């Protein structure tokens, strides 16, 4: 537990992708988790857009244990952050940056990825101890070149992009230096087998692209 923040951050980087999940039931959340695990992308972000997010987090973790790395998304305030952590969230992602959320996550050694649009916001996020800077919603606007825009002046900035990432452009995102990619429908829609097949393609693209860059 003492190395919790470091280990989870490394697990997210090593995986290179996570499924952004919004579901109505724990059962559906478990189906998505099973598909992602089978396909080699065992990282899920459960969005607090839905009020049942805490129940989904604890339900998935109870079923799959260490097979899955599960976090909370759309965490906009410290109360939600603490509730998510108590439900078993191993990392916290947001669509905005919050000092109170950063402090809560640091207090419990939970990796935090604040949503940032500008370099100023991103640098402030790093000053607050962010494990990743979530480039949101600008990843939808700029596409893969966004990574270079942030990383050329600050190459040490850990970027998590979310939005606009698919099988066709994933390799370019990785080539440009993105550290982790959030994906919605690609890793959350369809049957368990379909999710597993898509996750396997994501896993292959990330591994092959990173190998070429080594």
Helices (H), the chain: 4-15, 26-39, 53-64, 78-87, 99-107, 119-127, 138-142, 145-151, 170-175, 192-213
pLDDT at 122: 94
Given this model, what pLDDT does residue 3 score?
A: 78
Span 109-136, pLDDT tens digits: 999 999 999 999 999 999 999 999 999 8
Query: If you ran DSSP here, which 8-state letter would residue 135 be given?
Result: E
The whole-number pLDDT of residue 1 equals 52
Is residue 157's pLDDT more than 70?
yes
The model's pTM is 0.95
Counted domains in the chain: 1
Q: What is the pLDDT of residues 32-70, one digit of tens each?
A: 999 999 999 999 999 999 999 999 999 999 999 999 999
Domain containing 47 equals 4-213
For the stretch 70-91, pLDDT in tens is 999 999 999 999 999 999 999 9
Residue 2, pLDDT score: 58
The structure tokens listed for 90 are 């191993």
Element (H, E) at 71: strand 69-73
Residue among 76, 78, 71 at smallest CA distance from 42: 71
Q: What is the pLDDT of residue 85?
A: 98
What are the tens digits of pLDDT across the range 192-202? 999 999 999 99
- Residue owning tokens 């992009």: 161
Task: Give percent of the chain above pLDDT 70.
Answer: 98
Structure tokens at 193: 């087998």
For 159-193, the pLDDT digits (tens) are 999 888 999 999 999 999 999 999 999 999 999 99
CA gap 212, 163 in Å, rounded: 25
**Measured distance CA(13)–CA(7) in Å, rounded:** 10
d(CA 114, CA 116): 6
Q: Is the pLDDT of residue 213 over 60?
A: yes
pLDDT at 114: 97
Q: What is the CATH number of the domain that holds 93?
A: 3.20.20.70
Most distant CA atoms of the chain, gap in Å: 44
Residue 207 confidence (pLDDT)? 98
């Amino acid at each position: 537990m003492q190395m919790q923040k470091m280990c989870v951050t490394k697990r997210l980087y090593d995986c290179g992708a996570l499924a952004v999940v919004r579901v109505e039931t724990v059962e559906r959340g478990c189906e998505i988790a099973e598909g992602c695990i089978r396909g080699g992308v065992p990282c899920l972000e459960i969005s607090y857009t839905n009020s049942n997010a805490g129940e989904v987090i604890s339900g998935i973790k109870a079923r799959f244990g260490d097979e899955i790395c599960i976090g909370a998304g759309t965490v906009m305030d410290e109360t939600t952050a603490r509730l998510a952590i108590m439900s078993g969230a191993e990392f916290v992602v947001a669509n905005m940056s919050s000092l109170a959320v950063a402090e809560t996550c640091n207090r419990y050694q939970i990796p935090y990825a604040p949503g940032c649009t500008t370099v100023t916001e991103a640098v402030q996020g790093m000053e607050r101890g962010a494990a990743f800077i979530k480039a949101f919603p600008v990843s939808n606007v700029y596409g893969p070149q966004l990574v270079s825009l942030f990383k050329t002046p600050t190459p040490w900035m850990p970027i998590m992009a979310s939005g606009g990432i698919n099988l066709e452009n994933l390799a370019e995102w990785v080539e440009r230096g993105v550290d982790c990619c959030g994906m919605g429908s690609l890793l959350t829609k369809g049957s368990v087998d379909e999710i597993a097949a898509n996750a396997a393609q994501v896993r292959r693209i990330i591994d092959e692209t990173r190998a070429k860059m080594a």
